[in-house]
Amino acid sequence: MPAEPAEPPPPPGPSRRTFVATTAAVGGAVAAGGTPAASAAPAAARPPAGRVSLTVNGERHTLTVDNRTSLLDLLREHLALTGTKKGCDAGACGACTVLVDGRRVNACLTLAIRLEGAEVTTIEGLAPGAPAADDGELHPLQRAFIEHDAFQCGFCTSGQLMSAAACIREGHTGSATEIREWMSGNLCRCGCYTNIVKAVGQAAAHRK
């Protein structure tokens, strides 16, 4: 009985040299801006934005901002009012204190988009004649802080001043203990608390 013919051998696979060359060519195409399936993913969607109109230091502003923008970043980055300082950015130090409709708030924790129609006062608007207070005229609190040397590095000072202005307006300056209690949300890492309390007491007496 004749033997069956042998099956032809399978075609040879790619050599190691061919495999390496092909892989390098594909990688180069991707690096040069090729369009593999992974690169066809859609770009990330832009964060939602909104419009807000508010009055800052007596001047009306209408802005379009990311809905996540804090009042602190709106003041510093959109309106160039850098007197309000970014300290902890977590509401713990009080360096960013401003007044919103006469009440003190931590600007870093306040969403700008929620302040439609609000009146905001920053350190730039505290002095008489602000915001055009370039003539050297100071608020009584500012004078008192200078007289009592109530600051060293000065980083917390704008927040201290804004909180003190509200503290006086609220009538919480009957004693040094009361001032300390109602100013306790503002931290001074230089430790000027004694002089700050004296300055606030002097300014409160001046107001009366």
Q: What is the DSSP letter of 37?
A: G
Distance CA 129, CA 109 (A): 29
Distance CA 80, CA 72 (A): 11
Structure tokens at 170: 């609220």
Give the per-residue pLDDT at 17: 56
Strands (DSSP E) along 57-126, which ranges?
A: 59-66, 97-100, 103-106, 119-121
Structure tokens at 9: 């051998």
- For the chain, domains (ranges, CATH) are 49-125 (3.10.20.30), 140-207 (1.10.150.120)
Does residue 33 register a pLDDT over 70? no
Distance CA 131, CA 169 (A): 20
Nearest to 156 by CA among 81, 89, 93: 93
Give the per-residue pLDDT at 207: 78
Contacts of 157 (CB under 8 A, 6+ apart): 145, 150, 151
Element (H, E) at 129: none
Reported as a single tens digit per residue, the pLDDT across 56-110 is 999 999 999 999 999 999 999 999 999 999 999 999 999 999 999 999 999 999 9
Q: What is the pTM of this model?
A: 0.75
Element (H, E) at 160: helix 157-169
Give the pLDDT band of residue 173 (cuts 50, 70, 90).
Answer: very high
Give the per-residue pLDDT at 48: 87
Give the per-residue pLDDT at 163: 98
Mean pLDDT of 136-156: 93
Q: What is the mean pLDDT of the chain?
A: 85
Mean pLDDT of 130-157: 84
